[in-house]
Structures are given as structure tokens and as C-alpha cells.
Structure 1
Amino acid sequence: MAKLGGFEFWKKSLKEARFVVAPMVDQSELAWRLLSRRHGAHLCYTPMLHAQVFVRDANYRRENLYNEVCEEDRPLITQFCANDPEVFLKAALLAQDYCDAIDLNLGCPQMIAKRGHYGVFLQDEWELLEKMVRLANEKLSVPITCKIRVFKEVEKTVRYAQMLEKAGCQLLTVHGRTKDQKGAMTGIASWEHIKAVRKAVNIPVFANGNIHHLSDVERCIQETGVQGVMSAEGNLHNPALFEGCSPPVWEMAEEYLEVVKQYPPCTLSYVRAHLFKLWHHTLQIHQDLREDLAKVKTLEGLADVSKQLRLRCQEEIAKGKEEEEEKEGGLPFPHWICQPYVRPPPKEPVANGNSQGSEVKKTVCQKRALEDSDGTADTLSKNKQKKRSRNPNKNFCPEQKPKYIKCEQCGNPKVSHGLRFKTKAEKQKAEEDEKKEGSATETIQIPDPSPEPPL
């Protein structure tokens, strides 16, 4: 059977998927995908997998894909991060029999992606990307897709998308944010960029960004003309987003935990992270249970904390605190209802040329700046505050820390050259030598210098 591509691939293999769960590191695992599919998702992606590790490590392959084969979990796209055409192809060949397409991650903006030289940090290396996509398109039995972020310039973004299409990309997901729009500077995704890409290419396009409710999905499709809409954060806070409903958090939490039990094994850290997202707004109020959720080390323990949160919320409902909580929290629904966490948008610089933008940046990074400058306890990170509680005299100010001359040969401080460390074998030998010396001392007869007593 000939390999499907473009719109034919979207229609037949992906069944005209419109509602898509994004690839999320450690968060779009099998249990979560199955939960999302039960509540309206048409298509899911695996978490981002590292191509090089996938090729060399059989355990990594088994834990992240092979063990998660499930008839209910289709259609499915496996996503890889990579920066080498041959390695990417090898990983894709090992994965192609377990999914409906292979996706190349060109959108991850995190520092780990910068250090590893993948994700969005490849978006300027068009020659390399063209080679990676072309080789995969030629050799794989399933289609190759790509997920990208936009450039500031709409025209450059369009040329970028057209280059990937020409290389062999059969479906393109466009996250309407730039490389720098992340964390506190996330801001609003540009649907204008997505619309321009959709008009410029002849392959299906998925939109990503600004999706918190089903109404956002419908509006995005109407405004951009895309074939489908992908959700990440919105899905994590409300896995029933694509159903158009906002159920009580405990319903989703309990159903998710049941799926986890039904399809083991699931890494405990993944489950914990999902519960933190689901209970996000409630945990702002019941912070003692936030600590408990962070500390428990079993699935049963996590389920117990979730049950306690449910009981507290039901007590509040019985006491009629819904309206009061809604007003105090500034949320559209009471905190126990599944709803998104919306980051405050970063302030825009003024148009007259004043450097308000730099002031905004200072405000965003204020904690870090204070932490680096004077190291006072109220501005230290939690980790450093713990260190100070153990050692009140500990100094975190870089200017006051002692400076050591570095060795020209090894780069380590010269002061360390005078230190001598013993191996376990050397320590054991030294202890044995000390014992021998001690026993030898005991056998030596020392004459008593005192005079003999009189007869």
C-alpha cells in the first residue's frame, strides 16, 4: 500500500482529526492520552522523545513507546527531537510500526533544548532541516510531520513553512509564538502568523496557542482556516476541554487515577504532575495538602491526597462558599471546577522610545536580580533559604565569596591542589597499619624505672 500524504493522510489515517492533544514532555503519556480521548480528543502525540537515546537504549524504547501499544490509543503521532539526519531516521524507523506518523520537534524553547541544540534552536538551520525532513520522507513507511514556532516576521515564517513542505513534511503544526515567548514572557500567540501559513501551503495545518476552552477551538478554526487545533496547557488543566464542559476537578482526577491503575506502569512523577495541574487553583487555598502531594511516594498516597482535596471542596460546597470563593479568587468558576490557569500577559514597551520594556524585564526578573545582588533571606530561592536555615552564616553574595586563583593546566582552583584524598583501599590499608602498630606496642616490655620495694 502506497504511503499516504498531505490531506489524504489527514483524512484517512488521522480520520480528519480536529481536536489534538499536544506532545508534552512527561505529560502526554498513555494514561493521559486515553483520558483525553475519552473526553473528545481525536488525535494525540507521544511526549517528546530524544532520538539519540531512543536509538541506543532499548529500555528507553520499551518504557516510552513499545510498552504503551494500545488499540484505543490511535491515531497516534510519535515526536522526536533531533539534530542529526541519520540519527533521526534510525529512531523513526524503530518507532514507525507503533504509530501513524513521525513528528520532528522544532518548537521546544526550553534551556535543555538550547543546550542539546534541538527544538526551536534549529529554526535558522534550514539546510539541515531540509535534509532531515527529506531523508525521513524518503525512507519511512509513515508520513513525516513537523511542529514549529513562528518568526517575528510573517513573511519569514511563511517561507520557513514552505521550505518544510517542499522537503516532504505532510502536516504542519504551527505554535503562534516566537522562540522568546516562554515563561513570564509567554504572551499571546499570533493567529495571524498561523493564518498566513495555512494560506501559503498545500498540506494540512494544526494551530497551537491561546486554547483554553472549546469556544477558542471553534474561533481559531474560523479565523485561521486550519484543519485542527492543538492544546497543551488547556488540556492539562481540563482534559474535558474538547467536550466543551468543565467538570469538578475530582471527577477528572479520580478517572485519571483509574486509567493509571488499568494501564501500568506509569511513572509516579507523571501522575503527581498531572494532579498538581488539575488541582492547581484549589492548592492555592489548601496549601498544607500541596506539601502532602509533593511528599507522598506511592500511587495510593497520591490518590489519598486527591480524596482529601475532594472532601474539603465538598464541605465548602455544603457550606455555600461557592460565590464567596469565586469573587475572592477572580476565577470564572469556583476553584474546584476544571479551568485554565491564565498567565498575566507581559507589558508592552511604550511607543515613544522610552525603555519601559527594560523596566518590565527588571520587574519580571526582580527576584533573581535581588537574589544575586544582596542575598537577603526574603528574596532567596526556596532552595537557598533551606541552606541558610541549616547554616545561618552561609553567604550567597558573589562579591563577598573568596576568589581562588585557577590552575592554568586543569582549570580547578589552585587551593585544591594541596588536598589529598584516599581511596577506600588506601583508607583500609592505613587502618590495618595502625592496628599492627598498636598491637606491636602492646608486646614491647618496658622496664619499670621505679626502685624496688624494701624486703
Structure 2
Amino acid sequence: MSKLQGFEFWRQTLKEARFVVAPMVDQSELAWRLLSRRHGAQLCYTPMFHAQVFVRDSNYRRENLYNEVCEEDRPLITQFCANDPEVFVQAALLAQDYCDAIDLNLGCPQMIAKRGHYGVFLQDEWELLEKMVRLANEKLSVPITCKIRVFKDIEKTVHYAQMLEKAGCQLLTVHGRTKDQKGAMTGIASWEHIKAVRKAVGIPVFANGNIQHLSDVERCIQETGVQGVMSAEGNLHNPALFEGRSPPVWEMAEEYLEVVKQHPPCTLSFVRAHLFKLWHHTLQIHQDLREDLAKVKTLEGLADVSKQLRLRCQEEIARGKGVEEKGSGLPLPHWICQPYVRPAPKDAVANGNGQASEVKKTVCQKRALEDSDRTADTLSKNKQKKRSRNPNKNFCPEQKPKYIKCDQCGNPKGNKCVFNLCRGCCKKKAYKEVADCPSHGLRFKTKADKRKAEEGEEEERKEGPEMGPEKSRVSPQSPPDPSPGPQEQLLL
């Protein structure tokens, strides 16, 4: 059977999915995907996997994909970050039997993506991207899809999308924000860019950005003409978003914890992060339990803190207290699942169709990390905790050591590596050349020499019993015995 493409793939394999859960690092794991599917999600992505690590590490493959095979968890798209066509295809070939499509991440804007040279930081290397998508389209038995961010210029964004379509991309997800729109500068996603891309390509398009309620989903589809809408943060704060419901937080938290128990193992940090998102607004009030949630070390401990939060909320409900009494300004009581809304940069257009203009410096003043006095109140809470553990910790970007890239893959190299490589590349080279690298703790030459020495000693031990008697009979170093033997005595 030939590989389905474009709209046939969307209709038959993805079953015309309109409600999509985004790929989220350490957050779109199996348990969360199953919870989201039970509340309206029609398609889910795995977290982003690193293609190079996926190829070389069998444990990474097993822990992140192979152990998570579940009939209920389909259709499913596996996402990779990569910057090498061959490595990307190798990783995709190892994953294709466990999913319905392979997605290339061209949208991650984080610093780790910049250092590793992947995600949105590849968006100007069209020749490389064309080769990666074309090779994957030729080699894989499942379709190749892409997730991108937009350029400021709509026309350039359209040409970018058309290039990926021509290379073999069968479905395109467009996040309507630029590379620089992140953190405090996130702002409003441009649906105009998404609409222009949708009109210019002949493959299905998913929209991503500005999705906080089901009404946003419907409005986005109407205004842009896309086939589906993807949600990330909206889904994390309310996994029932696609149902159009805003249930009590404890309902979602308890159901999620039950799914985690039914589908082990699930990394504890993932579970903790989900509970922090779900209980975000309540934890601003009950900060003592926020500390408890951060400290507990077991799944049962996390469940117990969630239960305490539920009891406190129910006590407030019984007393008739509402969110207005807390002065939080939330549209719903804090114990109801609802989105966390970042303050938008000034001059951003509120309807979701405009691009934020010049953002004033006041938006970013919550973290003045470059102040020369480096006093504690200029640091974020996270950095203040690090400073309390290590008073000599340096947070000044200008004084931080620059990463030297590995000669082969571009990742940070080991400072004292004998090959000037990162650990992964160094291990391959040291193994191939039977060499040592003390910096990375690799002892291939030492182990080989030790093995040879042991083999030599074993051979000597085997030869020893056979040669012993001959040596005792004809030993040139033994002096002749002058005393006469028994026969000589008889003759005398």
C-alpha cells in the first residue's frame, strides 16, 4: 500500500483531527496524552526527542517511545529535533513503527535549541531543511510533517512554507509567533501569517497560538481556514479545553494521577510539573502547599498535596468565598481550570490578527539580571534559590564562559577532551580508534591492554603444566649428580 499524502493522510490516518495537543518537552508524555484524549483531543504529539540521542541510546528510545505503546494513544505523531539529514532519517526509521507520522521541529526558540543548532534556529538554512524533509519523505513509510514559526514578513513566511511543501512535507503546523516572541516578549500570535500560509499551500495546515478556550479554536478555524488547531499552554492549564469545559482543578488532577498509576513508569518531575500548571492559580494563595509540592519525592506525596489543595478549596466553597475576595482578578474562581494569561507587550493587537509592534522596555523589567551590583532583588526567584545554595554563583552573561562547539555535531565540547568533541562523539571516536579520553572517563585503550595482558597470563598458565616435567628431566641449569646410581652400585 502506498504512503498516504496531504489531505488523504489527514482524512484517513488522522481522521480529520481538528483538536490537537502540541509536542511539549517533558509535558506531552503518555499519561497526559491519554487524559487529553479522554477530554476531546483528537490528535497528540510526543514530546520533542533529540534525533542524535535517539539513534545512539537504546535506553532513551525505550524510556521515551517504545515503552509508551498504547492502542488508545492513536493517532500519534513523533517529533524530533535534528540538524543532520542522515541522523534525522535514522532516528525516524527507528520510530516510524510506533507512530503515524514523523514531525521535524523547526519552531523551538529556547536557548538550548540555539546552542544545539536546531528548532527555529534552522529557519534560514533552507537548503539543509529541504534536504532533510526530502530525504525523510523518500525513506520513511509514514508521512513527514513540520512545525514552524513565522518570519516577520508574511511573504517570506509563505515562501518558507511552500519550500517545505515542495520538499515533501505532508502537513504543516504554523505557530504564529516569530523566533524572538518568547518569555516576557511572547505577545500575540499572528493569525494573518497562518491564513496566508493556508491559502498558499496545498497540504493541511494546523494553527498554533492564542488558544485558551474552545471559542478561540472555532474562531481560529473560521478566520484562517486551517484544518486543525494546536494547543500547548491552554491544554496544560485545562486538559478539558477541547470539550469546552472548565472543570474543578482537582477533578483533572485526580484523573491524571489515576492515569499515571495505570500506565507506569512516569517520571516524577513530569507529574510534579503538571500539578504545578493545574494548580497554578490556587498555589498563588496557598503558598505553603506550593513549597510542599516542590519538596515531596513520591507519587503518593504529590497526590497527598493535591488532596490538601482540594480540601482547602472545598472549605472556601462551603464558606461561600469567591475569587473576588482574594483580589486575584481571575474571571473564574481560582479552583476552576482556566488559562494563565501572560501580560501582553504594549501595542499588541488584541484580536489575535496583528503582530506586536515595538515592545517597550518596561515589559521586561521583572528580571534585571544585568545590574552591576547583582543584589538579590534583581534576580528571579529561581536564581535567588541558586544564589542561596552557592553565594559565588555568577549570573552575569558577559562573564559566563562561552561554549566551544564540538568539531562534529555542534554541541558543547568537553573542556579537556583529547579529541575536542562532545561526549557522544568522543565515545564513538575513542571506541573506533581504541583510545582513552580521561576527560570523559573513557578507557577503551586501557581496557584493551588489560584484556591482552590477562589473555597472555592465561596462555602461560595453560602452557605451564605441559612444559614442567620436560624441564625437570632436561634442565641445563641442574648440575650432574656425582653419586652412583643403583645399577652402577651392583656392577661395582
TM-score, normalised via structure 2 length: 0.77
Please state how far the C-alpha of 1:373 moved relative to its aligned partner.
1.6
Q: Deviations over 1:337-393 (max 9, x none)?
A: 000001010123999999999996543443543663212233244466457667989
Greater Cα offset, 366-375 or 268-277 = 366-375
Greater Cα offset, 384-393 or 6-15 = 384-393
Match of 2:117 in 1: 117
1:434 equivalent in alignment to 2:460: yes
Please state how far the C-alpha of 1:329 moved relative to its aligned partner.
1.3
Q: Deviations over 1:214-255 (max 9, x none)?
A: 000000000000000000000000000000000000000000
- 1:14-413 pair list within 5 angstroms: 14-321=14-321, 325=324, 328-348=327-347, 362-369=361-368, 372-382=371-381, 385-386=384-385
Instruction: Give me the whole-angstrom Cα distance separating, in 1, the residues matched to 2:482 and 2:306.
Output: 81
Instruction: Give me the whole-angstrom Cα distance separating, in 2, the residues matched to 1:74 and 1:338.
Output: 26
- Listed as ranges, the gaps of 5+ residues in structure 1 are none
Decide whether aligned partners of structure 1 residues 426 and 365 sit closer, same or farther in structure 2, where only a CA change above 3 A counts.
Answer: farther
Q: Deviations over 1:69-122 (max 9, x none)?
A: 000000000000000000000000000000000000000000000000000000
Identity %: 91
TM-score, normalised via structure 1 length: 0.83
Instruction: Give me the whole-angstrom Cα distance separating, in 1, the residues matched to 2:77 and 2:409.
Output: 47
Greater Cα offset, 309-318 or 372-381 = 372-381
The answer to whether the 8 Å contact 2:192/2:224 transfers is yes
SS of residue in 2 equivalent to 1:369: coil
Decide whether aligned partners of structure 1 residues 326 and 404 sit closer, same or farther in structure 2, where only a CA change above 3 A counts.
Answer: closer
SS of residue in 1 equivalent to 2:452: helix
Please state how far the C-alpha of 1:43 moved relative to its aligned partner.
0.3
- Listed as ranges, the gaps of 5+ residues in structure 2 are 413-438, 464-471, 487-491
Decide whether aligned partners of structure 1 residues 131 and 304 sit closer, same or farther in structure 2, where only a CA change above 3 A counts.
Answer: same
Decide whether aligned partners of structure 1 residues 374 and 61 sit closer, same or farther in structure 2, where only a CA change above 3 A counts.
Answer: same
Instruction: Give me the whole-angstrom Cα distance separating, in 2, the residues matched to 1:189 and 1:153.
Output: 14
The answer to whether the 8 Å contact 2:189/2:352 transfers is no
Q: Deviations over 1:410-441 (max 9, x none)?
A: 9999xx9999999999999999999999x999
Instruction: Give me the whole-angstrom Cα distance separating, in 1, the residues matched to 2:49 and 2:365.
Output: 34
Instruction: Give me the whole-angstrom Cα distance separating, in 2, the residues matched to 1:384 and 1:40.
Output: 38
The answer to whether the 8 Å contact 2:190/2:355 transfers is no
Decide whether aligned partners of structure 1 residues 443 and 42 sit closer, same or farther in structure 2, where only a CA change above 3 A counts.
Answer: farther
The answer to whether the 8 Å contact 1:14/1:43 transfers is yes
Match of 1:451 in 2: 484
Please state how far the C-alpha of 1:452 moved relative to its aligned partner.
72
The answer to whether the 8 Å contact 2:371/2:378 transfers is no
Please state how far the C-alpha of 1:443 moved relative to its aligned partner.
48
Decide whether aligned partners of structure 1 residues 326 and 337 sit closer, same or farther in structure 2, where only a CA change above 3 A counts.
Answer: farther
Instruction: Give me the whole-angstrom Cα distance separating, in 2, the residues matched to 1:410 and 1:163.
Output: 25
Instruction: Give me the whole-angstrom Cα distance separating, in 2, the residues matched to 1:55 and 1:408.
Output: 19
**Larger-gyration structure (1/2):** 2
Decide whether aligned partners of structure 1 residues 332 and 373 sit closer, same or farther in structure 2, where only a CA change above 3 A counts.
Answer: same
Please state how far the C-alpha of 1:328 moved relative to its aligned partner.
1.5
Decide whether aligned partners of structure 1 residues 407 and 120 sit closer, same or farther in structure 2, where only a CA change above 3 A counts.
Answer: closer
SS of residue in 2 equivalent to 1:384: helix
Decide whether aligned partners of structure 1 residues 49 and 404 sit closer, same or farther in structure 2, where only a CA change above 3 A counts.
Answer: closer
Could you say what the CA RMSD is over the residues aligned between the two structures, in angstroms? 9.8
Decide whether aligned partners of structure 1 residues 114 and 318 sit closer, same or farther in structure 2, where only a CA change above 3 A counts.
Answer: same
Please state how far the C-alpha of 1:273 moved relative to its aligned partner.
0.2
The answer to whether the 8 Å contact 2:206/2:228 transfers is yes
Decide whether aligned partners of structure 1 residues 158 and 401 sit closer, same or farther in structure 2, where only a CA change above 3 A counts.
Answer: closer
Matched pairs, number = 448
The answer to whether the 8 Å contact 1:371/1:381 transfers is no
Decide whether aligned partners of structure 1 residues 313 and 199 sit closer, same or farther in structure 2, where only a CA change above 3 A counts.
Answer: same
SS of residue in 2 equivalent to 1:443: coil
SS of residue in 1 equivalent to 2:255: helix
SS of residue in 2 equivalent to 1:31: helix
Instruction: Give me the whole-angstrom Cα distance separating, in 2, the residues matched to 1:290 and 1:376.
Output: 25
The answer to whether the 8 Å contact 1:205/1:228 transfers is yes
Runs of 4+ displaced beyond 2 Å: 348-372, 375-413, 416-437, 439-453
Q: Deviations over 1:14-48 (max 9, x none)?
A: 00000000000000000000000000000000000
Instruction: Give me the whole-angstrom Cα distance separating, in 2, the residues matched to 1:383 and 1:441.
Output: 82
Instruction: Give me the whole-angstrom Cα distance separating, in 2, the residues matched to 1:146 and 1:78.
Output: 11
Q: Deviations over 1:189-236 (max 9, x none)?
A: 000000000000000000000000000000000000000000000000
